[in-house]
Chains A and B, each alone.
Chain A
Amino acid sequence: MSEANTPAVPVVPDGIESIDIVGVRQGAFGVSGSGDTSGFGGLVAPIVMPGASPRPYGGWFDEVADEIELSLQARNLPVASAIEKVVIDRGEITFFVKRDHLVDFVRVLRDEAALRFEMCMGVNGVHYPDDKGRELHACYPFLSITHNRRIRVEVTAPDSDPHIPSIVGVYPSNDWHERETWDFFGIIFDGHPALTRIEMPDDWVGHPQRKDYPLGGIPVEYKGATIPAPDNRRAYN
């Protein structure tokens, strides 16, 4: 990206501690390189995800956050090194947890009576190729039937070291979900009993849900002209 194309850093809105830029959007038609005739080709805008929220979070969010912090301290786990940040957005709370402490963190979620998140609703990967050093995100939705609450735990890992500890030992339901996320994103869940492909064939090469995975596709040829695969087409973004 040339300097002329560097997006202006957006202003941090009120009520939010920091912003989280995960990528850059260029142009209005998904075109990179040469400009297009729309006049929007030179448009450069950062993709800003909701950033860390300051206390108080409001509602039961504070209760859960307090309880988690107390429980971590009671287990001699430094809160600051376990929880990266807390994001409140659209009525949902997300705890960004450092991967080294993930298993201890979710054990607290399951075992503490005041938290009691009985169920982990699986894990889902998201690939942000431009979020340098934390390209791979794994999102774990948790449900507490006792307290009727939902939280999300998000863990990041760099592409160069795509390892996240497995939580199958704590939440056995995540067995297939972690296999699926490995299958689609290549996130290696250390400690998983049998991390094998689940949806794709066993001998498949690559991880299809990654943003850098080529779609391939069969070029449609008509009188010498071809239509490229969907990810290479010029399209609105």
Chain B
Amino acid sequence: MSDVIYTSAATPGEDIYSGSYETTEGTIYNLAGGDWDTISAAPEGEKERIVVNMGPQHPSTHGVLRLILELDGETVTEARCGIGYLHTGIEKNLEFRTWVQGVTFVTRMDYLTPFFNEAAYCLAVEKLLGITDQIPERANVIRVMMMELNRISSHLVALATGGMELGALSAMIFGFRERELVLDIFEMVTGLRMNSAYIRPGGVAQDLPDAAEQNIRETLPLLKKRMKDTTDLLVDNAIWMGRTVGVGYLDLQGCMALGMTGPVLRSTGLPHDLRKSQPYCGYETYEFDVPTQTGCDAYGRFLIRIAEMQESMKIVEQCLDRLKPGPVMVEDKKIAWPAQLSIGADGQGNSTEHIKHIMSESMEALIHHFKLVTEGFTVPPGQVYAAVESPRGELGAHVVSAGGTRPYRVHFRDPSFNNLQATAPMSEGSMVADVIAAVASIDPVMGGVDR
């Protein structure tokens, strides 16, 4: 084979791992590898670096988050996030459902904060409809109450999983135990522990069951008492502080540049909270404080979450005092969902009152029911942006209507998605173990990140 021309694998500019040679039949590529010395010595002038791929399936990555860490010994020199493993196309799905059905989808995005997703979406739809002022008082009080209970359950998971990721397994047990109390309330009120689709455009899906008020009143003291366990366990704990104080540092300027909101922003000392600055659902009438810290670190964010849960309980108590009997859905029959569910002898279904009304009393009511349930209501063309303060920061819904019975485009500005960008500045230059603490202090929920 005298016509074979071998090219050396070590020639500069060539691919060092594979050579090629020409034959009469064409180019033959040689991918046989080579001696380790040749390969390992090849990238000249570059020192040894290790790239560790952490996740997406890893107990410490807070869900299906993939961290790509470049290490120099134990020190992280570069940190990158890989996301998209939980992308479910919720925003696209919304475009093929009615406005009311959309709630069922958005509640599944950030699965730890279903009520906030629903609230942001419904506030946007109500703004598009121009009925923001017509939402009944009782519906708003229920919304606030459910959102604040949800804030407690979400922060409890943040502490539980954050503790678990740092090795504090008792914190996890405590966190999930307390959360169960809140989920029981959710189950009682909405029928579901998560994904409740309870807040609907125009109000809420169902009035509170009779026993709910009493139940919540009894749960709050228990929650407070038990929450003390977590606080006692961690707040002055030397190991916990050693793992979190000064870790995941991001100052105010960094937060501003990266659009950080929520506990991360408040850990720099800025008391920015949409419930105070741009109130919705009547938050301006409640008394509560916005806790801040000045450490800019993971420990500060932990303390903020603890304090916020206390504030949330204050708000829930105020809600309970304000609950007055009344409607929970707008009066406008062209928008309000016509039926109420009830539990009968044969299971759950539309209330017999309503069935009687539409089947034997009013043909117009039947038409309304049919049109609203199958076709849905139309929303005048335009676009709005509605934001709520979710436990993780600003959850914004940009909703566009083209005048139809289905959304033209819905986009969620999820705080987890935005805040995850801070992984790099928070963890580059620190130890590998601190990356976990930093990500846990952001508290991303991948369902919300990927949507």
Q: Which positions in A face B, CB cutoff 8 Å? A: 22-23, 25, 45, 47-50, 89-92, 94, 118-122, 124-127, 139, 141, 143, 145, 148, 150, 152, 171-177, 180, 197-201, 208-209, 215, 230-231, 235-237
A-B contact pairs, 16 of them (CB 8 A): A22-B402, A47-B381, A47-B402, A47-B403, A49-B381, A89-B383, A92-B384, A124-B411, A173-B257, A197-B84, A198-B83, A199-B84, A201-B84, A209-B409, A230-B96, A236-B405
**Which residues from 255 to 281 on chain B have a C-beta closer than 8 Å to any C-beta of chain A?**
256-261, 270, 272, 277-278
Residue B110 lies at the interface, judged by CB distance under 8 Å to chain A: no
Cα A50 to Cα B130 in complex, Å, equals 14
Q: Are A139 and B383 in contact (CB under 8 A)?
A: yes
Interface centre among A45, A121, A201 (most CB of B within 10 A): A121
Cα A122 to Cα B393 in complex, Å, equals 14
Cα A139 to Cα B92 in complex, Å, equals 17
Q: Cβ of B385: which chain A residues have Cβ within 8 Å of it? A: 92, 121, 141, 150, 152
Cα A134 to Cα B313 in complex, Å, equals 49
Q: Cβ of B270: which chain A residues have Cβ within 8 Å of it? A: 145
Q: Cβ of B403: which chain A residues have Cβ within 8 Å of it? A: 25, 45, 47-48
Q: Cβ of A208: which chain B residues have Cβ within 8 Å of it? A: 89, 92
Closest chain B residue, CB of each to CB of A139? B398
Residue B400 lies at the interface, judged by CB distance under 8 Å to chain A: yes
Q: Are A126 and B400 in contact (CB under 8 A)?
A: yes
Q: Are B128 and A90 in contact (CB under 8 A)?
A: yes
Residue B251 lies at the interface, judged by CB distance under 8 Å to chain A: no
Cα A111 to Cα B258 in complex, Å, equals 16
* The one of A50, A119, A127, A171 that contacts B381, using a Cβ cutoff of 8 Å: A50
Provide the B344-359 mask, 1 if CB < 8 A to any CB of A, else 0. Answer: 0000000000000000
Contacts A47-B381, A90-B127 aside, 10 further interface pairs with beta carbons under 8 A come to A49-B381, A119-B261, A171-B257, A173-B258, A173-B418, A200-B87, A201-B84, A209-B91, A215-B96, A236-B376
Residue B283 lies at the interface, judged by CB distance under 8 Å to chain A: no
* The one of B96, B130, B396, B417 that contacts A231, using a Cβ cutoff of 8 Å: B96
* The one of B277, B376, B383 that contacts A148, using a Cβ cutoff of 8 Å: B277
Cα A65 to Cα B450 in complex, Å, equals 35
**Shortest Cβ gap from A185 to chain B (Å):** 10
Number of B residues near A (Cβ < 8 Å) is 49
Interchain residue pairs A-B with the least CB separation, the first 9: A173-B259, A124-B411, A199-B87, A236-B375, A230-B96, A199-B84, A237-B404, A47-B402, A118-B256
Q: Are A25 and B402 in contact (CB under 8 A)?
A: yes
Q: Are A50 and B382 in contact (CB under 8 A)?
A: yes
Q: Are B272 and A145 in contact (CB under 8 A)?
A: yes
Q: Cβ of A121: which chain B residues have Cβ within 8 Å of it? A: 259, 385, 387, 394, 396, 413, 418
**Shortest Cβ gap from A200 to chain B (Å):** 7
Q: Cβ of A174: which chain B residues have Cβ within 8 Å of it? A: 259
Residue B108 lies at the interface, judged by CB distance under 8 Å to chain A: no
Residue B200 lies at the interface, judged by CB distance under 8 Å to chain A: no
Closest chain A residue, CB of each to CB of B253? A118
Cα A100 to Cα B384 in complex, Å, equals 25
Residue B406 lies at the interface, judged by CB distance under 8 Å to chain A: yes
* The one of B84, B128, B376, B451 that contacts A200, using a Cβ cutoff of 8 Å: B84
Provide the B365-394 mask, 1 if CB < 8 A to any CB of A, else 0. Answer: 000000000111000011111010000001
Closest chain A residue, CB of each to CB of B408? A126
Interface centre among B260, B383, B400 (most CB of A within 10 A): B383
* The one of B127, B258, B278 that contacts A172, using a Cβ cutoff of 8 Å: B258
**Shortest Cβ gap from B68 to chain A (Å):** 13
**Shortest Cβ gap from A131 to chain B (Å):** 11
